[in-house]
Structure 1
């Protein structure tokens, strides 16, 4: 059964035309296409259209692209969220060894996804499973595609700085950020 959030693409909109040229004519087909793209940082973190040229993307670029498609097709029912979640081995397989080396149970990580009728639609992770982040979300807010660059970075860094202070974490901000980068690097392999 086709999800109720699906819609046909307009042939007169810029990004929709790019998708139609790839044989993707509705939102579900674009979601499937985006989901199969490998995880990888794009050359410009704020340029979500680069997922088509670079054939890869992060949660931010992939979901910002999908939200932009929804906006250009007036699909206001598709919302775009940024969250901070407890990144740990149980929900982000591969980071556990790194976190254990620093005696950390988790690191606050930024993640983005879509929502439809309050249900997470994540084209970079398994949505509902043992490894879901759903129960590890610390904070979330609705954003726009243009906010995946500087805004998201400042939001994430600010959260980590407060987390370190509020929880008496025995590492500096730069040390935590470097540990986080090691975790992200491990996920990219």
Structure 2
């Protein structure tokens, strides 16, 4: 991230950041990026990232978008995308996909865009799945949409995908496979 914005004001999230010595958006971005990947106790509440010091694609990026909103930064957008999660762009799921004889599974993923450039800080290490080349769909969302909205959207997308691909698998089975993939990624 090249461009940065100074944080100001006493909004709740901004105050927590300033109290931790994070004075501009770039420092907050780097701080959140280095936090480990993991679900928080409430996957809909992006504020938990600052309390539990971990997060997923949804919570980490929604937190950053919320801080941008608090500081009047309009250049940064939060996106919900669906991409073909496969063994090439997400090597840790290779065994799961092979076991169920799937080439890929459509996965919902949250990320930021700044001036059209995708910013993805889901993982704090060299392991960053490259999803851009297999992006099927994307839509701008608000931080509050990372909970039920995202899950419902993803489930609806998967149900349509099963039907369109004429797969001989139930939605419940596919969701279990997806959860096994997420578990593999987090290890």
TM range (shorter): over 0.9
2:75 to 59, 63, 77: 77
Number of residues of Structure 1 aligned to a counterpart in Structure 2: 185
Shift of 1:84: 0.5
Higher mean C-alpha deviation, range 130-139 or range 151-160 = 130-139
Partner of 1:16: 14
Shift of 1:125: 4.7
Partner of 2:62: 64
Shift of 1:45: 1.1
Distance in 1, matches of 2:54 and 2:104, equals 26
Unaligned 5+ residue runs, structure 2?
none
Relative to structure 1, is the Cα distance of residues 130 and 52 closer, same or farther in structure 2, using a 3 angstrom cutoff? closer
Runs of 4+ in 1 over 3 A off after TM superposition: none
- Could you state the TM-score of these two structures normalised by the residue count of structure 1? 0.94
* 1:73-122 C-alpha deviation (Å, 9 max, x unpaired): 00011011000100111111200111011110000001000001111011
The answer to whether the 8 A contact 1:90-1:130 is kept is: no
The answer to whether the 8 A contact 1:83-1:139 is kept is: yes
Unaligned 5+ residue runs, structure 1?
none
1:40 to 31, 38, 54: 38
Is 1:170 the counterpart of 2:175? The answer is: no
* Structure 2 residue matching 1:83: 3-state secondary structure: strand
Is 1:156 the counterpart of 2:154? The answer is: yes
Shift of 1:130: 9.2
* Structure 2 residue matching 1:12: 3-state secondary structure: coil
* 1:101-148 C-alpha deviation (Å, 9 max, x unpaired): 11100000010000011110111159xx99411111100000000000
Distance in 1, matches of 2:91 and 2:55, equals 18
Partner of 1:97: 95
Relative to structure 1, is the Cα distance of residues 130 and 42 closer, same or farther in structure 2, using a 3 angstrom cutoff? closer
Q: Following superposition of structure 1 onto structure 2, how do residues 109-128 of structure 1 map, counting pairs within 5 Å? A: 109-125=107-123
- Could you state the TM-score of these two structures normalised by the residue count of structure 2? 0.95
Distance in 2, matches of 1:130 and 1:116, equals 18
Distance in 2, matches of 1:53 and 1:13, equals 16
* Structure 1 residue matching 2:22: 3-state secondary structure: coil
